[in-house]
Chains A and B, each alone.
Chain A
Amino acid sequence: MLLIGLRVLDLTDQKAAFCSKLLADMGAFVIKVESPGGDASRNAGPFMGNELHPEKSLSLFYNNTGKKGITLNIEHKEGKKIFLALVKKNDVIVESFSPGYLDKLGLGFESLKRINPKIILASVTGFGQTGPKKDYKSCDLVASAFGGQMSVTGSLKPLKHYGEQSYLTASLFAATGILLALRKQRMTRKGEHLDISIQEAVASTLEHVMVRYFYENIIQKRQGSLHWNNLFHIFQCRDGFIQITLFDKWETFVEWMDSEGMAADLVNEKYLDETYRRSRLDHIIKIIKTWTKTHTVKELFKLGQLMQFPWARVDSPKKIVKSPQLKARGFFKDVCPAKNNTIKKCPGPPYQFDSKPNQYVARAPLTGEDNLNLYGKELGFSKEKLEELYSMGII
């Protein structure tokens, strides 16, 4: 485990829960700090057994694997004290409150620094800590719109990516930033406040979009399943959908269709010229459409890949959990420990170190699951003290 020894306090909701999951996957010791009663994102679906229950949220589970869980009311005077005692013992804090919230509680970066001068605070918010839109309310939908993603995805109507991709992207930037801040801290011996804007995270991951605006003055529009550079398009087969390339290795492709008597006029020499092909895009799509309908997805994917075409099945979740490739690499991990837990399998991280996949994924904590253990071990609280804190609504 590469990050063994790194200690992280996680105060985030779903906006940045993935950030400390990334760190936990690498071996960091992450304590998820929820307000008493549990994080609101425990109400996010889908749910185990389709039962709306705070301990059965699968998205919470996925975003919080490998973490420990305690509850603490940081708005309460006593809770604040306990929080600061924890700050002393940890290296990193990740939070996703509105800008200024922690300051108002007296828990802003300056206050934290007095307690632990080397603390790294990573703040993930919709629009960052400063600037005219800093107080705008945000969610994945708002970030996807303001960040530019929706202007280029979809057909007539703009389309947000599935899931909460803006949160995942911002979390990746934050986790990367935290590792950079750790290196910086060792040089300066000072703490750091990282300011991650989810809008910027989206705007920074638009591939060609800003590049072509700044260099060629092109404002990209939406064009359905047709990839921006007109290279990829999705076609219907007998039993599903395949994504294929329109211009890649043109002669081979046309030969293939022609061998089945379905290349129509595409055999014409004029099509050897790429500029001509691009001008006849709609026509080419029409011909390919007729051809793919005579095949199964499996046939085209298998043969296409054999011929080195970067083609792909358009797979749904059910297909993906059966993928022979993911199976061979052990991507779906056993969840451990199994106690109190009926979730058995979970997607693991997308990398392996030294060709050794992680054996299992440690499950997400139940609300306050580690209160007894952690408050006892870390801060020396007795059972009686914990009961008192519990009755006061602090934990």
Chain B
Amino acid sequence: MKNILSGIRVLDFTRVLSGPYATRVLADFGAEVIKVQSKKIEGTGPDAGGYFDTWNRNKRSITLNMSHSEAKKIALSLVAICDVVIENFSPRVMSNWGMDFPKLKKVRPDIIMLSMSGMGQKGPWKDHVAFGPTVQSLGGLTYLSSFEKDAPLGPGYALADHISGLYGTFAVLAALENRDRTGQGSYIDLSQYEVVAGMIGPALMDVLANGKEAIPQGNQADYEMAAPHGCYQCLGDDRWCVIGVFNETEWHALIKVMGDPGWAYEKRFSTLIARKTHFKPLDEKLNLWTLKHDAQKLVELLQEAGIQAGVVQNAKDLANDPHLLDQNYFIQTQHPLLGKTISDRSPIRFMQNSSTDPYSDVDLKSSPLLGEANKYVYMDLLGLTETEYKSYIQKGIIA
């Protein structure tokens, strides 16, 4: 079976999530991703972890101890047989190894290199240490994703890693388009800080254009006129629904579903603007009603009446969501140590199924064991002899 990215080989120096997510998307669609690991760094842990398994499926793993003086030569010979190199270290790491873009270009003139550090490769903060939560706070997503200005909350998980990963994949694919057309490689310097700042673009424009600063809105609509627009408690333990009303037709439909309560006809709720102004009492009234209902059933009723409504689904709800199950959103792979595992299918779906659809025969593989592909990569691809290969192991380079 030939996948869309068959024939594209990626040398993957990434760790944690942002980089691995970028290379997972490429691996999902058939690129040969060679993940460079080291026993020294990884220990024995990662082979058995769900986190590692999920974000590194379909990849190959080799071990290469980059702190060894002779490792660089091997790494560069790997670059020579790859199309793309991806890394998410702090800016100085690759250049300390003698693996910066100009050096890679010498061994592979049309190489595409993606660096995805926290702050980008240049600037006064380039060496800042950053994880997802760090860039979410610096980039404004944390401040604005809160109920109140004086109690910042933020996403609670590293959304920025996924978004950065997707930007990275997108940029690499664009660079491949360019290479196919012009024969030229590219260097991509992605800043995860800028990724997050870009996620609140309109709020930044409000400052740039008006000198006006957005403040946290809780669940109220940020950009659109809508009221009610919020999250409401339902029957049961930690059950919630959301309701968004964007015009009068929807408001009257909601009144009808609520059974025509008198309060809904009060003057302070009579227009969209009035409801937006009085969103607090409106939300309280609505919440008293939703509290008596099952979230699932209520949302079905509201949707039938043409109102934007949703169930706040937790992990278990998602795993059992009939719609997602109908769409085969969750897929199974087999891991040598973990056994049967479940992960998410890519939301990128091709409706014209053919042999190039990577999911047509559910050929997804689990994450690799540490160094699983050493022999294949070093001997079959690089052409090392068995003696050379063994001596590199002995010297602690392939390790």
| Interface hits, B175-226 → A, CB 8 Å | 175-178, 181, 186-195, 197-210, 212-214, 216-219, 221-225
Residue B198 contacts which of A151, A325, A350 (CB distance < 8 angstroms)?
Answer: A350
Residue A142 contacts which of B134, B244, B342 (CB distance < 8 angstroms)?
Answer: B244
Q: Which residue of B lies closest to A311 (CB)?
A: B134
Residue B229 contacts which of A49, A141, A316 (CB distance < 8 angstroms)?
Answer: A141
Give chain B nearest CB distance to A303 CB in angstroms. 13
Contact across chains for B202 and A62 when beta carbons are under 8 A apart: yes
A58 at the binding interface (Cβ < 8 Å): yes
- In angstroms, Cα B244 to Cα A165, docked, is 16
Contact across chains for A176 and B327 when beta carbons are under 8 A apart: no
Chain A residues within 8 Å of B158, by CB:
207
Contact across chains for B209 and A205 when beta carbons are under 8 A apart: no
Stretch at the interface among A254-262, A327-335, A373-381: A327-335
Q: Which residue of A lies closest to B342 (CB)?
A: A214
Residue A310 contacts which of B131, B139, B206, B306 (CB distance < 8 angstroms)?
Answer: B131
Residue B346 contacts which of A132, A204, A213, A308 (CB distance < 8 angstroms)?
Answer: A204
Interface readout for A321-360 with B: 1 if CB under 8 Å, 0 if not? 1011110110110000000001111110111111100000
| Interface hits, A133-177 → B, CB 8 Å | 133, 136-139, 141-155, 157-165, 168-170, 172-177
Contact across chains for A347 and B344 when beta carbons are under 8 A apart: no
Contact across chains for B323 and A133 when beta carbons are under 8 A apart: yes
Contact across chains for A162 and B187 when beta carbons are under 8 A apart: no
Chain A residues within 8 Å of B219, by CB:
141, 157-160
B378 at the binding interface (Cβ < 8 Å): no
Give chain B nearest CB distance to A198 CB in angstroms. 9
Residue A58 contacts which of B161, B193, B209, B315 (CB distance < 8 angstroms)?
Answer: B209
Contact across chains for A184 and B356 when beta carbons are under 8 A apart: yes
B311 at the binding interface (Cβ < 8 Å): yes
Contact across chains for B329 and A145 when beta carbons are under 8 A apart: no
Chain B residues within 8 Å of A317, by CB:
140, 143-144, 200, 203-204, 206-207, 213-214
- In angstroms, Cα B151 to Cα A157, docked, is 14
Give chain A nearest CB distance to B186 CB in angstroms. 6
Stretch at the interface among A71-79, A186-194, A382-390: A186-194
Kindly name the residue among A2, A168, A343 whose own CB sees the greatest number of chain B CB atoms within 10 A: A2
Contact across chains for B349 and A162 when beta carbons are under 8 A apart: no
- In angstroms, Cα B383 to Cα A380, docked, is 59
Contact across chains for A318 and B213 when beta carbons are under 8 A apart: yes
- In angstroms, Cα B349 to Cα A147, docked, is 17
Chain B residues within 8 Å of A33, by CB:
none
Contact across chains for B218 and A234 when beta carbons are under 8 A apart: no
Give chain B nearest CB distance to A372 CB in angstroms. 28
A213-B319, A234-B154 known; A203-B125 Cβ under 8 A: no
Contact across chains for B324 and A200 when beta carbons are under 8 A apart: yes
Give chain B nearest CB distance to A77 CB in angstroms. 27
Contact across chains for B170 and A209 when beta carbons are under 8 A apart: no
B119 at the binding interface (Cβ < 8 Å): yes
- In angstroms, Cα B353 to Cα A156, docked, is 44
Contact across chains for A160 and B349 when beta carbons are under 8 A apart: no
Q: Which residue of A lies closest to B218 (CB)?
A: A159
Chain B residues within 8 Å of A187, by CB:
2, 4, 356
| Interface hits, A198-220 → B, CB 8 Å | 199-201, 203-216, 218-220
| Interface hits, A97-116 → B, CB 8 Å | 109
Q: Which residue of A lies closest to B171 (CB)?
A: A351
Contact across chains for B197 and A157 when beta carbons are under 8 A apart: no
| Interface hits, B139-171 → A, CB 8 Å | 139-147, 151-159, 161-164, 166-167, 169-171
B129 at the binding interface (Cβ < 8 Å): yes
Contact across chains for A26 and B174 when beta carbons are under 8 A apart: yes
Q: Chain A, interface size: which category?
A: 35 or more
Chain B residues within 8 Å of A168, by CB:
163, 199
Contact across chains for A138 and B344 when beta carbons are under 8 A apart: no
Q: Which residue of A lies closest to B358 (CB)?
A: A180
A196 at the binding interface (Cβ < 8 Å): yes
A268 at the binding interface (Cβ < 8 Å): no
- In angstroms, Cα B22 to Cα A381, docked, is 44
Contact across chains for A225 and B153 when beta carbons are under 8 A apart: yes
Stretch at the interface among B69-77, B81-89, B235-243, B257-265: B235-243
B45 at the binding interface (Cβ < 8 Å): no
Q: Chain B, interface size: which category?
A: 35 or more
Stretch at the interface among A40-48, A81-89, A273-281, A285-293: A40-48
Give chain B nearest CB distance to A293 CB in angstroms. 14
Contact across chains for A347 and B197 when beta carbons are under 8 A apart: yes
Contact across chains for A206 and B157 when beta carbons are under 8 A apart: yes
Give chain B nearest CB distance to A62 CB in angstroms. 4
Contact across chains for B315 and A310 when beta carbons are under 8 A apart: no
Residue A182 contacts which of B49, B177, B308 (CB distance < 8 angstroms)?
Answer: B177
A313 at the binding interface (Cβ < 8 Å): yes
Contact across chains for A194 and B348 when beta carbons are under 8 A apart: yes
Contact across chains for A46 and B134 when beta carbons are under 8 A apart: no
- In angstroms, Cα B36 to Cα A360, docked, is 37
Contact across chains for B303 and A170 when beta carbons are under 8 A apart: no
- In angstroms, Cα B75 to Cα A218, docked, is 39
Contact across chains for A227 and B156 when beta carbons are under 8 A apart: yes
Chain A residues within 8 Å of B323, by CB:
127, 131-133, 199
A160-B231, A214-B342, A328-B122 known; A315-B137 Cβ under 8 A: yes
Chain A residues within 8 Å of B54, by CB:
210-211, 214-215
Chain B residues within 8 Å of A201, by CB:
347
- In angstroms, Cα B330 to Cα A215, docked, is 13
Chain B residues within 8 Å of A181, by CB:
350
A394 at the binding interface (Cβ < 8 Å): no
- In angstroms, Cα B51 to Cα A351, docked, is 27
Kindly name the residue among A46, A128, A219 whose own CB sees the greatest number of chain B CB atoms within 10 A: A46
Contact across chains for A136 and B202 when beta carbons are under 8 A apart: no
Chain B residues within 8 Å of A142, by CB:
242, 244, 308-310
A162-B145, A208-B157 known; A180-B207 Cβ under 8 A: no
A196-B349, A329-B120, A329-B123 known; A141-B310 Cβ under 8 A: yes
Give chain B nearest CB distance to A253 CB in angstroms. 14
Chain B residues within 8 Å of A211, by CB:
50-51, 54, 343
- In angstroms, Cα B197 to Cα A345, docked, is 14
Contact across chains for A169 and B163 when beta carbons are under 8 A apart: yes
A294 at the binding interface (Cβ < 8 Å): no
| Interface hits, B104-127 → A, CB 8 Å | 119-126
A-B contact pairs, 10 of them (CB 8 A): A132-B323, A137-B309, A139-B246, A158-B240, A164-B222, A176-B173, A184-B350, A207-B132, A316-B213, A345-B208
Residues of A within 8 A of B (CB): 2-3, 5-6, 14, 22, 26, 43-46, 48-50, 58-59, 61-63, 109, 127-133, 136-139, 141-155, 157-165, 168-170, 172-177, 179-184, 187-188, 190-197, 199-201, 203-216, 218-228, 231-232, 234, 241, 243, 305, 308-318, 320-321, 323-326, 328-329, 331-332, 342-347, 349-355
